[in-house]
């Protein structure tokens, strides 16, 4: 199992359960856990208050922070489980930016993309918007409380489009209707199987 997947990235919409799964899975397989440092982003709260004004700055700052963190983490030996995929930056940029701002972001993204290794496996957690909103409400981050259902739907569509054409790494698409421990066990069971590159819908 460890020989198959040395670097595992967990992805999903806001409130999908990425961090909980990544932490439980890393403990289960004895891997380093690499969480996204979103709370350090000085533009995140202003973005939720004025998305049009702060969209480019929040996306560029996330891009740089994720790039730096992944590059450093992948230099070290051993198993690695992260609660995000660096490429999520492009997914969110396409939701939050348009026109010249999006084209500028994509140019910078493409320069950086070739400098990072891709994970050996991506686990994508799909949840319906009502369950996402419930989880967002329960965890109580004030700046997230006004996220509309329409925004979550756009993010979900962005992930669907991105992974539909992803051929560099295996992506396992799971409908996350499990509890945390059951989900971790289900994912753990999948790690003994070899998956070809591309998208795999897991029943």
Q: Rounded to the nearest 10 degrees, what angle do helices 51-73 and 88-96 cross at? A: 170
**What is the Cα–Cα distance from 104 to 97, expressed in whole angstroms?**
10
Residue ranges of domains in the chain: 7-202
**Which pLDDT belongs to residue 1?**
45
Q: From CA 36, how far away is CA 3, in angstroms rounded?
A: 25
- The torsion region of residue 92 among left (phi > 0), alpha (psi -120 to 50) and beta comes to alpha
Q: Read off the pTM.
A: 0.93
Predicted confidence at residue 3, as pLDDT, reads: 67
CA-closest candidate to residue 137, choices 42, 11, 10, 14: 14
pLDDT along the chain (203 residues), means of 10: 83 95 96 89 91 96 96 94 97 98 98 95 94 85 85 96 96 90 95 96 92
* Rounded alpha-carbon distances, angstroms, from residue 87 to 177, 184, 193: 25, 23, 24
Catalytic residues: 83
Measured in residues, the chain has a length of 203
Note the pLDDT of residue 142.
78
Q: How far, in Å, CA of 93 to CA of 72, rounded?
A: 23
Q: Which CATH number fits domain 7-202: 3.40.50.300, 1.10.20.10, 3.30.565.10, 3.40.50.2300?
A: 3.40.50.300
């Amino acid at each position: 199992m460890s020989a198959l997947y040395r670097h595992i990235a967990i992805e999903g919409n806001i409130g999908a359960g990425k961090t909980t799964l990544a932490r439980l899975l890393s403990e289960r397989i004895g891997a380093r856990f690499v969480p996204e440092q979103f709370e350090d982003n000085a533009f995140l709260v202003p973005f939720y208050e004025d998305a049009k004004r702060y969209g480019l700055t929040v996306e560029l700052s996330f891009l740089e922070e994720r790039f730096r963190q992944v590059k450093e983490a992948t230099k070290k030996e051993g198993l690695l489980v992260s609660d995000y995929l660096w490429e999520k930056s492009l997914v969110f940029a396409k939701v939050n930016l348009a026109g010249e701002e999006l084209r500028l972001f994509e140019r910078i993204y493409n320069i950086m993309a070739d400098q990072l290794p891709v994970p050996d496996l991506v686990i994508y957690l799909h949840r319906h918007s009502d369950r996402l909103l419930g989880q967002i409400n329960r965890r109580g981050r004030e700046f997230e409380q006004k996220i509309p259902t329409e925004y979550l739907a756009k993010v979900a569509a962005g992930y669907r489009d991105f992974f539909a054409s992803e051929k560099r790494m295996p992506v396992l698409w799971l409908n996350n209707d499990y509890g945390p421990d059951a989900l971790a066990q289900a994912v753990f069971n999948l790690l003994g199987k070899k998956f070809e590159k591309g998208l795999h819908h897991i029943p």
